[in-house]
Structure 1
Amino acid sequence: MTHYSLFCLLFVVSLLTERCYGFTCVKVNSCKCKLDDGTVIDLSPLGLTSGNPKYKDVPDAGAGDVFSYNPCYSFTENACNDVSVCQIRNGAGFSAGTQDSARFQYDEQNGLALVYSATSDVLRTTYTYLQCEPDQEGALNVLGEIVADGNYYLYLASKYACPTKDTSGSSGGGGLSGGSILLIIVVVLLFVYLIGGLAFQTAVKKAEGTDRIPNLGFWVTLPGLIKEGFSFTFNTAKLKAGYSSI
């Protein structure tokens, strides 16, 4: 019973960790997304509305291609019509993403990316990684295609890639995040459990002193169980690292 209770507790803690520290940015439109805390990332000040790319013919890191990119608004260049990203190779233009395909994607290694895709002769996908630089208006670095797989990588450093307060007026005050709501629920349930358990132990079982605490044995052994759990996890990770180095 004790180990089952510990499993349930650790499951709740892991769930809280995932919800409180996981990173999500929900798409509002092709250049704006909203974070769990109500702040937004909005690239619209960077985009040109003239039909031209903000960043034109930027060379990649070594493949010999050049890329043009415009956040938020479509442009036309070479054979690229109504695109967000245009790849030019040997003088020929290829659509490497459209505004209506834009989606926000996060990975732990590179952070938040604005991802575009388009299919002409083949599927091409462009990952524009957003780097928060408060003192930078907007600088684009192009890594290009690492391997011949139709995936292209851009890095946009800008103050507009930093989270800011939402001034659109669409939300009253941001509200609570999902992790905060879940944490409140767990705290309330623990409070009810402790108060209800104390009342039951006192009124029904006529317990006195520390015996009134529900499942006293579990709470007494909990620190030791947690220590054992961390030791087991650490030793397992260390063992795996040893195997990987052989």
Structure 2
Amino acid sequence: MELLRRRSLFPVLLIAYACSVKYTVTGQINCNIVGLDSCVCDTPQGRIDLTSIANSDGTPRFKNIQGETFERYEYSYNPCYGFQTGTNGCGINGAVNAACQEETSFDDQYSCGLTSTETFKYYSNGKTELQYDGGEGGRITVVEVICDESATTPSIRSFDDGDVPYRYDFQLRTECGCPGRCHGSKPKPGGGAGGSDKSGAIGLTLIFLSLFGLALYFVIGIVVRKYRFQKSGREMIPNHEFWFVLPYLIKDGALFTFNSIRGLVLRGDKSPSDYDKL
């Protein structure tokens, strides 16, 4: 009986294994996230965020993209926020377009997909795509996003609808296609998930703390010397002898350094200063 039960479970396990292999090879995640722009995708390797390479002023980020299959066509494209081309432009009833096609010889324009239909797809093999539906005449646009950490300035190619009629394929190459590389309105320096350059912020913090400590030193010192030691005038300043002579020490050091360098340049003397004569 036990053997019969094990045999009955074998086909189920086999089917489950086959499904898992299929997902590993061709698995897809629709990664539209509630509350975030539709061109943001959380992947197992980190977040892909394309918002920093998109125009948010109603104009296309990429213009006059020459089709590589049919040279008479040019395209415009803007991820995330789309664009409008005016009353005589592509689209219907002022819809916000993600991509538009223009036939340059006749000045005809067609919407190739609406921003409202934008879908971000991530595949288990690392491939990422943006898809837009709702274009005129059933047109759709598919943009393959290529991760290229050296592509600090994004570039795009158009392959027209050479393979499938009314499906317009693009290839967008950008550092922001790499998980964790970009975030929000500007790219994260350094790249990679969590890779950021904090040296500037640390430097400013150290400068602020140094100035704050110096000010605190003078305030506390003046209060103590005035009320505890009954000092007045310049004697209220802690270590006032040092602070009043410091400008002259800086001047002497600068003059000594300047004269030493000038002596080396003019005479080639290894020790041109008066200190060597002593």
TM range (shorter): 0.5 to 0.7
Letter of the 1:74 counterpart: G
Aligned in 2, Cα 1:103/1:148: closer, same or farther, shift over 3 Å? Answer: closer
TM-score w.r.t. structure 2 length?
0.52
After superposition, the C-alpha distances for 1:181-200 in whole angstroms (9 at most, x for unaligned) are: xxxxxxxxxxxxxxxxxxxx
Q: Which residue of 2 aligns with 1:44?
A: 51
Q: Does the CA-based 8 Å contact 1:47-1:54 persist in structure 2?
A: yes
The offset of 1:116, in angstroms, is 0.7
Q: Which residue of 2 aligns with 1:31?
A: 39
What are structure 1's unaligned runs of at least 5 residues?
A: 169-246
Q: Does the CA-based 8 Å contact 1:25-1:34 persist in structure 2?
A: no
Q: Does the CA-based 8 Å contact 1:38-1:165 persist in structure 2?
A: no
Aligned to 1:75, which of 79, 83, 89? 83
Q: How many residues align?
A: 166
2:161 matched to 1:145? Answer: yes
Alignment of 1:83-94 (within 5 A): 83-89=97-103, 90-94=106-110
Aligned to 2:115, which of 71, 91, 99? 99
* Larger gyration radius, structure 1 or structure 2: 2
| CA-atom RMSD in angstroms | 3.0
What are structure 2's unaligned runs of at least 5 residues?
A: 185-278
Q: Does the CA-based 8 Å contact 1:39-1:166 persist in structure 2?
A: no
Letter of the 2:53 counterpart: L
Q: Which has the higher strand share?
A: 1
Q: Partners of 1:167 and 1:60 in 2: how far apart?
A: 30
Q: Does the CA-based 8 Å contact 2:157-2:171 persist in structure 1?
A: yes
After superposition, the C-alpha distances for 1:5-27 in whole angstroms (9 at most, x for unaligned) are: 54444444445445666342411
Alignment of 1:194-205 (within 5 A): none
After superposition, the C-alpha distances for 1:208-230 in whole angstroms (9 at most, x for unaligned) are: xxxxxxxxxxxxxxxxxxxxxxx
Partner SS state of residue 52, structure 2: coil
TM-score w.r.t. structure 1 length?
0.58
Aligned to 2:61, which of 47, 50, 54? 54
Letter of the 1:76 counterpart: Q
Q: Partners of 1:148 and 1:17 in 2: how far apart?
A: 28
Identity of aligned residues (%): 22
Q: Does the CA-based 8 Å contact 1:125-1:152 persist in structure 2?
A: yes
Aligned to 2:174, which of 148, 152, 158? 158
The answer to which of 150-159 and 18-27 deviates more is: 18-27
Aligned in 2, Cα 1:104/1:167: closer, same or farther, shift over 3 Å? Answer: closer
Q: Partners of 2:148 and 2:180 in 1: how far apart?
A: 13
